[in-house]
Every structure is written in C-alpha cells, then in structure tokens.
Structure 1
Amino acid sequence: MAMSTKLVVILRDDLSPALAANAGVVLGLALGGRLENSLAADGKDADGGVHAGLNPHPVPTLVASGERLREIKAEADEQGLTVVGFNEVARRSRDYDAYLDALAATPARDMEYAGVAVHGPRTALNRLTRKLELMR
C-alpha cells in the first residue's frame, strides 16, 4: 500500500560527492526533527541484535540547478509543505550563531541552496518534483 505522504531530498546538481553527502545528512536530520512519527519501530536480526528504527518513507535523492532549488523552496513554502533548505550561508558558517547573524544579513533573492528536503502529500510532491532526475 502506498503512503499518502512523500519525502524527497533535492541536491544541487554541481555539488562534489563530499558536499552532497554532507548536505543530504544535514537536510535529513533537520527534516526528521520536524516530522511526527518519523521513525518506525526498532527491529531485531536473527541473532537478537537490535537495529534502530528507520524512517519508513522511501527517500529519493534528486538533483536540480541552484535556480530550480530556490523555486522549489518557494513553491513548497507557498503550499504549506514541510520544507528545509540547506543554504550556502549555513554551509559556510562555522557555528550556528554565525549562521544566524549571516542569514539575517542575506536577502532571500541572494540565497543559494546546496539542497532542500520536502515532506507533504504525495500528489503535491509529485507535481513539484516530477521533472527532476535522480542523483547518480
């Protein structure tokens, strides 16, 4: 049975593998912290070892241009979807206070995103991401 909600991570298409991995982790942690019941039950392997529960959603990782990421973030915000943007201001800041200070001085039109993560109704996310490619 398909879930009625969907979760996607969309990374900028020009990120190096190391920056893409970092952006994906940051986005996953930030989005997961905003979702209720985001983890399934713990499981046990055949030897009785416990494995922490995972997010039950499949998480496609897609790619888009920096410009398209900014558009997706704005469209997701307008639709009231749960959206997290990992921007270059955050990526370049050495601590969270420095990030908040730099963010407060950066106009939205100048915001560059390394990636965004979005959660919401499956149909809304399909419309928002249908033309994007999977990350390779």
Structure 2
Amino acid sequence: MTTDNATGAAPVRFDTKIAVLLREDLETWQRLNVTAFLVSGLGTVIPEVIGEPYADADGTAYLPMLRQPVLVFEGTKETLASAHAKALGRALPVAVFTSDMFMTGNDADNRAAVRAVGKDQLDLVGIAVHGPRNAVDKVLKGARMHP
C-alpha cells in the first residue's frame, strides 16, 4: 500500500504484485545487479506496470518508472527453483537471471546462457514475477523478505 503524500490522496492498494526473489548467497553487488536486470523485463511485456513520466518544478522531464512497489525476497536455491516452477505453472510472467549470466558481458550472451539449459536445470540466482497478489504470494511461499 502506498500513500500519495503530494496530493493527500488515500492509500492505494494494488490488485497485482511485483516481486523479485534472490538467492540468499549472493554478494551485495550481485543482488543489486540482478534486481535491476529482472525488473527491467517486466515493463517490456506488461506496459500497465509503467507509470507516467516524471517532471520537476522546472519542467525537466524524467523517464517513467514502475507504478507500484517492487517487493524483494530471498531464499535458498531450492526455494528459487520451487518458485520458478510455480510461477510457470500459473502462467505468470517471469524474468530469470542465472549464475552463468555473471560471466557474460552483453544481452546476446545472456540469452545464449539461458537458452543452453533446460528450465528445470537453470542455476537460478533470481526471478521476477508479476501477477495477482494471491498468486504471487503462493509462488513465493517459503521465501522471506530481503533484509
């Protein structure tokens, strides 16, 4: 739930949830990098998650961003594999980041690293998922909020 403090509007409760699940053994820089990559995929296929462009009081324009909070969770390798399978089983949009992607330096090599492995053998270090609140909650069962 968020409150629009600028306008004093009532808190907003979204019907959907955006969540990122990270493997608990990642280094800090990896957590940040993986989160940024994962959420970038959502707006490309789910345009309704993107809000309106920003502008400051001087009229300087800024890019639009996600219109709702992104909740970040962490879990074990097994929790990630389970969440991935549940998300796919529910036909929710999913972005993935695998450990092999840390060794690549560009988008083409990232896609090749994922394409080289079957979905049940991916060495996942993070996923992002979007969908109805209850469905995303069920996908994330066993994960805990990122500290």
Is the pair's TM-score, using the shorter chain for normalization, greater than 0.5? yes
Q: Which residue does 2:76 correspond to in 1?
A: 65
> 2: distance between equivalents of 1:102 and 1:52?
30
Q: Which residue does 1:77 correspond to in 2?
A: 88
Q: Does 1:23 align with 2:38?
A: no
Q: Which residue does 2:99 correspond to in 1?
A: 88
Look up the SS of the partner of 2:73 in the other structure. strand
% identical equivalent positions? 25
Conservation of the 8 A alpha-carbon contact between 2:79 and 2:142:
no
Deviations 1:23-78 (A, max 9, x none): 01110112222212232112333344333322111111110111111111111011
Q: Which has the higher contact order (CA 8 A, sep 6+)?
A: 1
- Normalised to the residue count of structure 1, the TM-score between the two structures is 0.86
> 1: distance between equivalents of 2:70 and 2:34?
14
Q: Give unpaired runs (5+ residues) of structure 1.
A: none
Q: Which residue does 1:4 correspond to in 2?
A: 15
Count of residues paired in the alignment: 136
Deviations 1:4-25 (A, max 9, x none): 1110011110100011111011
CA distance change for structure 1 residues 105 and 39 in 2, over 3 Å: closer, same or farther? closer
CA distance change for structure 1 residues 110 and 5 in 2, over 3 Å: closer, same or farther? same
CA distance change for structure 1 residues 109 and 126 in 2, over 3 Å: closer, same or farther? closer
